[in-house]
Amino acid sequence: MNESRTPAQVLREARQKDSRDKRARVLAVVDQLLTDNEPVTFTGVARAANVSHWLVYAEGVREHIEAARRGQGRAATNNAHAGPKAPAGWKVEKQLLHEDNRRLRQEVERLKGAVRRNLGQQVDQIGAADLGSRVDELTTDNQRLQGERDEALARVKDLTDQLSEVQDDLAGARMSLRRMMRAENQASRK
């Protein structure tokens, strides 16, 4: 019979599987560090396994890391030509600090860029307020010029009408003059 699982059961099982996978990754990293004869530190293991610092200090994992560190400590003391050296793990801690510093520098640069962009936007907004008043001025000027254009067009129409009347009067006067000249020419021939 196929039992249906509740969403809570599915989530619980997924979390348990994820926890097992992470713990297995931590243990594999510790074993790899021991194989490579690299110092085992809690921070180094957490970073290499890509897990939280909390997990490397959790019960069942912490003991494994501490045992690996004790084993490395005994091997260092048994090493006959081991002179006064920095404790094991300092090299890894130093490397991790360098990585943290690099990451923090990148974050600072990213934040500086964000501040620059934000200031630029604020300057643009101040300019936008000036642009709004300039747009209002231009709109007023445009309306004034449209009024003047309309007046000029009306004046042109009046002048065109007057010109048409004057041309009609001129044409009439020319016709009258021609008639008078014909009549005068005919009267002088007779």
pLDDT, greater one: 125 or 22: 22
The answer, yes or no, to whether residue 11 has pLDDT greater than 70, is yes
pLDDT of residue 78: 61
| Domain membership flag for residue 142 | no
pLDDT of residue 158: 92
pLDDT of residue 88: 63
Helix (H, G, I), strand (E, B) or coil at 6: coil
The answer to whether the CB of 58 falls within 8 A of the CB of 46 is: no
pLDDT of residue 133: 81
Distances (CA, A) of 179 to 168, 174, 175, 187: 17, 9, 6, 12
SS (H, E, C) 20-71: HHHHHHHHHHHHHHHHCCCCCCHHHHHHHHCCCHHHHCCCCCHHHHHHHHHH
Is 0.85 surpassed by the pTM of this model? no
Task: Give the pLDDT confidence of 124-182 residue by residue, as tens digits.
Answer: 776 666 777 888 888 999 999 999 999 999 999 999 999 999 999 999 999 999 999 99
Average pLDDT over residues 71-100: 71
Q: Which domain holds residue 14?
A: 8-80
Amino acid, res. 163: L
Q: What is the mean pLDDT of the chain?
A: 85
pLDDT of residue 160: 92
The answer to whether the CB of 40 falls within 8 A of the CB of 89 is: yes
pLDDT of residue 129: 66
The answer to whether the CB of 18 falls within 8 A of the CB of 12 is: no
| Domain membership flag for residue 63 | yes
How many domains is the chain partitioned into structurally? 1
| Domain membership flag for residue 102 | no
| Domain membership flag for residue 17 | yes
Average pLDDT over residues 53-70: 89
| Domain membership flag for residue 185 | no
Burial 57-71 (b: 16+ CB within 10 A, else e): ebeebeebbeebbee
| Domain membership flag for residue 38 | yes
Q: Residue 44, exposed/middle/buried by CB under 10 A (0-12, 13-18, 19+)? A: buried
pLDDT of residue 1: 46
pLDDT of residue 24: 93
What percent of the chain has pLDDT above 70?
A: 89
